[in-house]
Structures are given as C-alpha cells and as structure tokens.
C-alpha cells in the first residue's frame, strides 16, 4: 500500500500521552494526525481530508460533543468514533457518531474499532453503488421487455455487475465479528 492509499485517522484528545499512545497503536497501518483540542481538530478538518476521527468527549474549551456537532453540520463524509471516559448514557442516541468506546481502551479495542469503522464505511459505499445500479435496472426493466433487454450487451453487463456487487456486499457483511450486525447487514441487501 502506497502512502497515498493509507487512510487518515485524526486523533483528538486533550491528554497528550493518551493521544500519542493511540497514534502508536495505529501509525503502522494508517496516516495519523494528533490534535489536543477541539478547536485545533476543526481547523485540521478544514484544511485536509480525513477518513476517520477518534475523539474524546470531555475536553477543556471545545468539547468532543461540540466538535462532532460541527462535523455533522458540515456534512463531512467520514466515520467518527468517540473514545472517552464518559460512560455512555441515553444521550448517545442523538449523537452523530458511528462508534463509542469507554476509556481505558486497549490497543486491540482501538484497532478493532478503527477496522470496524472502515468496514462499515466500505459497506455503505457498496450499498450506495448497488442502489445506483439497481435504480437503472428497474428503469430499464420497466421500459423494455426482457427479450429486448437480453439482446443488449450493456444490460447483461449491468446484471453481471449487480451479481458481483451482491456477492461483495455479502462478503463484506460476513466480515463483521458481531454476528447480530453481520446478520442485519445480510438481510438488508
């Protein structure tokens, strides 16, 4: 994997040693950026693209909750995982985050959460692409007879592409270690 292919993880935590330990856990597989405040994180997000944000909820100044609200309002397209000492409560239902870890977090827990977030992101991309193909398929099958379509090379290619995507979606769903999540994804497609 080239340097350009590596996914970028922004780590936001006011505890420098904690942030640096997360960076050590991830730096072999991902490009990592560490910011020690919510404001610095927002400036970083304004200047560069990232693929995932790991963020503490409780920080002096701008809290992680506020940063995540800004990310949501800016409609940025990446996964956000809260990594915090704040025990989860019912308020996380409305929180625009994709994962929640309670400190202390082991290396395995953090790496698993990052891998899971990227797998979910990949799954979402596959579903979006499949839905585009499916819409085209539905339009064509409503406009033409199956006999007419069977003679169209591009349509048969579309059908083959959809079958390949269905298999890739199923394979991706099967990669989730959480069997409930894997089963739910399998039922969706």
Three-class DSSP labels, 90-119: HHHHHCCCCEEEECCCCHHHHHHHHHHHHH
Mean pLDDT of 152-163: 95
Question: Rounded mean pLDDT of the chain?
Answer: 91
Look at residues 5, 36, 39 and name the one whose alpha carbon lies nearest to residue 23: 36
pTM of structure: 0.83
Grade residue 88 by pLDDT with cuts at 50, 70 and 90.
confident
Residues 134 and 48 in one domain: no
Q: Which two tokens stand for residue 90?
A: 């019912």
Mean pLDDT of 126-133: 96
Phi, psi at residue 68, to the nearest 5°?
A: -65, -35
Number of domains in the chain: 2
Whether 111 is covered by a domain: the verdict is: no
Grade residue 181 by pLDDT with cuts at 50, 70 and 90.
low
Residue with tokens 């003679």: 151
Q: What is the extent of the structural domain holding 126?
A: 117-188
Flag whether pLDDT at 131 surpasses 90: yes
Mean pLDDT of 26-35: 97
Mean pLDDT of 140-153: 92
Look at residues 131, 152, 130, 129 and name the one whose alpha carbon lies nearest to residue 141: 152
pLDDT at 173: 83
Mean pLDDT of 85-103: 90
pLDDT at 2: 59
Flag whether pLDDT at 71 surpasses 70: yes
pLDDT at 142: 96
Residues 18 and 40 in one domain: yes
Flag whether pLDDT at 189 surpasses 60: no
Mean pLDDT of 80-87: 93
Mean pLDDT of 76-92: 90
Spatial distance between the Cα atoms of 57 and 84, rounded to a whole number of angstroms: 6
Q: What is the CATH number of the domain that holds 63?
A: 3.40.50.2300
Whether 110 is covered by a domain: the verdict is: no
Residues 96 and 134 in one domain: no
Q: With contact defined as beta carbons under 8 Å apart, do 13 and 83 qualify?
A: yes
């Amino acid at each position: 994997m080239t340097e350009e292919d590596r996914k970028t993880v922004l780590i936001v935590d006011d505890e420098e040693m904690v942030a640096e330990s997360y960076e050590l856990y991830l730096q072999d597989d991902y490009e990592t950026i560490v910011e020690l405040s919510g404001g610095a994180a927002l400036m970083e997000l304004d200047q560069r693209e990232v693929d995932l944000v790991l963020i503490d909820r409780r920080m002096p100044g701008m809290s992680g909750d506020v940063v995540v609200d800004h990310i949501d309002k800016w409609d940025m397209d990446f996964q956000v995982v809260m990594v915090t000492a704040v025990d989860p409560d019912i308020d996380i239902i409305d929180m625009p985050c994709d994962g929640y870890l309670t400190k202390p977090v082991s290396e395995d827990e953090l790496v698993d959460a990052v891998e899971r977030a990227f797998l979910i992101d990949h799954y979402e991309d596959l579903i979006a692409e499949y839905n585009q193909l499916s819409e085209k398929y539905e339009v064509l099958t409503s406009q033409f007879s199956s006999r007419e379509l069977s003679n169209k090379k591009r349509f048969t290619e579309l059908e083959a592409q959809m079958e390949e995507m269905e298999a890739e979606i199923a394979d991706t769903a099967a990669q989730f270690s959480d069997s409930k999540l894997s089963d739910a994804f399998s039922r969706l497609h």
